[in-house]
Amino acid sequence: MLSFRTQGYNGYSVKYSPYFDNKLAVATAANFGLVGNGRLYVLSIQANGQIANDLYFDTQDGLFDIAWSEMHENHVVTANGDGSVKLFDITVPKFPIMQWKEHQREVFSTAWNLAEKTTFASSSWDGTIKIWSPNRKQSLMTLQAGKPQFQNNCAYQATFSPHNPNMLMSVNANGHVQLWDTRRPDPEVADFIGHGGAETLCCDWNKYRSTVVATGGVDKMIKLWDFRMVPTKDSTPMAVPQAAPVPLNQFIGHDFAVRRVVWSPHDGCELLSCSYDMTARVWHDQTDPNTRICRFKNHSKSKVFNQHREFVVGGDYSLWGEPGWAATTGWDEMVYIWDSKRL
C-alpha cells in the first residue's frame, strides 16, 4: 500500500491517467468543501514506491471531481464549487487553459466520453447536465435532470456509456436514475426511482455488460440494474417516473451512504465502492450475467479497505499493470493506492 497526504485539503476525487501507468490526478477542497480554496494535485508513483507531487493548481473554490482527457495526455477537466468547469494542461503552470461557467450552482461531477472521446459532461447542483467540447466556448447541450417540483435538484453524477457515445446515465437528489440519448429530440429515454426515493449519489456503467449499471445512495445500498428491464418512454408513457424495476443484485454492507461506485476495467464482476462509513469495499457480483434472475443475499462478497479515518468519497481503478490496483481519497487528506486482490 502506498500513500500521499494532501495536507490542508480534503480529497474528493482521484483518477488514474489513461495514458501513463504511474500518474494520478486528485481533486481536493479546503475545509471539507464548505468554504475556501481548492487544489488539483498531479501525482506520480516513483520506482522506489514513493508518491511524488509533480505539481498542483490552486483554485478559488473547492474541486469536487476531475476527469482526464481522452484526447490529450496532459489535459484534466475539473468540477468546481463556483459553478465553473476548468480545463488544465499539466505542462502549463498555475492557470487553466479553458474555463466555462454556465452552471448556476456547484458543479459536482465531470466525466469524459470514453467511446467518442471528443466530448465530456458535467452535472451540477442546479439540476442540469451539460455536454461540452474542449474546442468550444459554449456547451453543446443541456439536459434537465432535476425536477422543478423538488427543492433539492442536485444532479450528483452523470457519466457516459463506455459502449455507446450518445448514451448517458445520471442520478440525483430526488432518488431518480435517468437514461439519456443525446441523438433524440427529447433526450430522456428512461426515468425511475431506484433507491426507494432516497438520494442517489453515484453511478457507473459496467465495462463489459453494455446494459448493466450500478448505483449507490444514502440508503447504504449498491444496486445493479439492467436497462433492458427498465420501462422507457417508447414502451410506456412516462407521465410520472416509473417505480424501480427489479435489480439484478444489491450489495449490503456499508454502514453509511455510498458516495462512489466504480466498475473494474479488468473484471466485469468486480466493483469498487467508497462510503461515508470511512471504508472502501471491493464487491464481486456472483449473479448470472446471461439471466434476469434476481439474486440477493449470499450472491455477492466484499473485501474491506479500512485505512481511511474520514469519509471516503473518491476512488478509481488503474488501467495498467496487474488487475486490482485501486486508488482512494477522502476527507482525512489521504490518498491511498492498494491492491484489491490482496485484501
Phi/psi class of residue 321: alpha, beta or left (left: φ > 0; alpha: ψ in -120 to 50)? left
Contact residues for 97 (Cβ-Cβ < 8 A; gap 6+): 75, 87, 88, 89
CA angle 175, 148, 158 (to 5 degrees): 50
Q: Which amino acid is at 114?
A: L
Q: Which letter does DSSP use for residue 84 in this model?
A: -
What does the alpha-carbon distance between residue 141 and residue 129 come to, in Å, rounded to a whole number? Answer: 8
What is the pLDDT, as a whole number, of residue 293? 45
What does the alpha-carbon distance between residue 203 and residue 213 come to, in Å, rounded to a whole number? Answer: 7
What is the pLDDT, as a whole number, of residue 296? 42
Provide the grid cell at 161.
Answer: 456509456
pLDDT tens track of the chain, all 343 residues? 999 999 999 999 999 999 999 999 999 999 999 999 999 999 999 999 899 999 999 999 999 999 999 999 999 999 999 999 999 999 998 899 999 999 999 999 999 999 999 999 999 999 999 999 999 999 999 999 977 666 678 999 999 999 999 999 999 999 999 999 999 999 999 999 989 889 999 999 999 999 999 999 999 999 999 999 888 877 765 555 556 788 999 999 999 999 999 999 999 999 999 999 999 999 998 776 555 444 444 446 689 999 999 999 999 999 998 889 999 999 999 999 999 988 8
Sign of the Cα torsion 82, 85, 90, 95 reads negative
User: Model's pTM, two decimal places?
Assistant: 0.93
What is the pLDDT, as a whole number, of residue 140? 97
- Closest by CA to 254, choosing from 286, 224, 217, 284, is 217
Provide the grid cell at 96.
Answer: 487553466
What does the alpha-carbon distance between residue 171 and residue 263 come to, in Å, rounded to a whole number? Answer: 16
- Closest by CA to 100, choosing from 57, 136, 62, 60, is 136
50 backbone dihedrals φ, ψ, rounded to 5°? -90, 155
What does the alpha-carbon distance between residue 20 and residue 80 come to, in Å, rounded to a whole number? Answer: 25
What is the pLDDT, as a whole number, of residue 238? 53
What is the pLDDT, as a whole number, of residue 183? 95
What is the pLDDT, as a whole number, of residue 223? 96
What is the pLDDT, as a whole number, of residue 69? 98
What does the alpha-carbon distance between residue 48 and residue 337 come to, in Å, rounded to a whole number? Answer: 14
What does the alpha-carbon distance between residue 304 and residue 326 come to, in Å, rounded to a whole number? Answer: 13
Q: Which amino acid is at 102?
A: E
Q: According to the CATH classification, is domain 2-342 in 2.130.10.10? A: yes
| Maximum separation of any 2 CA atoms in the chain, in Å | 59
Give residue limits of the domains in the chain. Answer: 2-342
What is the pLDDT, as a whole number, of residue 236? 63
Q: Which amino acid is at 34?
A: L
3-state secondary structure of 166: coil
